[in-house]
Amino acid sequence: MPFEYIEPELNISITTFEGLYLTTAASSTLPFTDAVKLFTEHVQAVRKNSVSMYSGALYGVTKYRLDANVESMAAGVIDFDNTTIVDGEKRPSDSPTLPEDHIDNLDGLIYFWHSTFSNTADWPKWRLIIPLERPATLDEWPFVVNGIIELLGGMDANIDATCFELSRAFYVPSYPPAHKGAAFSGYCDGKEVFNVR
C-alpha cells in the first residue's frame, strides 16, 4: 500500500521560480498551511507568464531549471489538460477528468488541486499535487510515477504526460479576468502521505 501515517504538522518541500524566464530555483519547506495557500489561492493575471511557478523538483548546487540539475523529487504534479486532438486541432475532451473523479482513489491521502490559467467553464484544466513522504531519488522517480498512475486508476488520456518530466514547472493558481468565475481549487488534509518505497 503506497501510504504512510504522518502527523498533521506535515511540512511540504517545494521549489518555486519567480517566472517563466527567471529560472533560478528557490527550494523551501513549507508548513502545511502555507502549502494550502500556494496551491489553492488563485491570483488574477492578464497573462499566465506574469505569475510565479512551482515544481516538485529539488535542485542541487546548480539552481538553473534543467533536468540535469534536479537532485530529487518531492512531489508529483499531475496536469489534467482534458484535451483531445480532432483533425490536428486541440479540443476539449468529451469525457473530462475532474477532481471529484479521484476522491475514492485518493481517500485518506494528503493532496491539493487547482484550476489553471487556461481553465474555462467549458474546458476544465487543472493540476493535482501529491506530496511525497520523502524526496524520491532520480532512480526512484519512474517507480513513483508508476505508483501515482496506478493510484489514479491507470494512465488517463486527459493527463499531459510531460508533467512527469523532472524539471517541469507549473504556474501558480491563476485566472484571466474573463474566467474568474470558473476557477476552482481545494485540498485534502488526510492522515497519509504518498510513500516513495
Residue pLDDT, tens place only, 79-98: 999 999 889 999 999 999 99
Q: Grade residue 6 by pLDDT with cuts at 50, 70 and 90.
A: very low
Domain positions in the chain: 3-194
pTM of the prediction?
0.92
Looking at residues 53-60, what average pLDDT do you find?
96
In whole angstroms, give the CA distance from residue 5 to residue 27.
25
- pLDDT tens, residue by residue, 101-150: 999 999 999 999 999 999 999 999 999 999 999 999 999 999 999 999 99
Element (H, E) at 185: strand 185-189
Residue entry with cell 488534509: 189
Examine the pLDDT at 3 and tell me if it is beyond 60: no
What band does 195 get if pLDDT is binned at 50, 70 and 90?
A: confident
What's the angle, vertex CA 38, arms to CA 36 and CA 41, rounded to 5?
80
Rounded to 5 degrees, what are φ and ψ at 183? -65, 145
**Which is higher by pLDDT, 197 or 173?**
173
What is the average per-residue pLDDT within 40-49?
95
DSSP per-residue string spanning 6-39: --SS-EEEEEEESBTTB-B-EEEEEEHHHHHHHH
How distant is the alpha carbon of residue 173 from its chain centre? 10
How big is the CA angle at 70 (ends 69 and 74), to the nearest 5 degrees?
Answer: 160
**Of residues 114 and 23, more confidently modeled:** 114
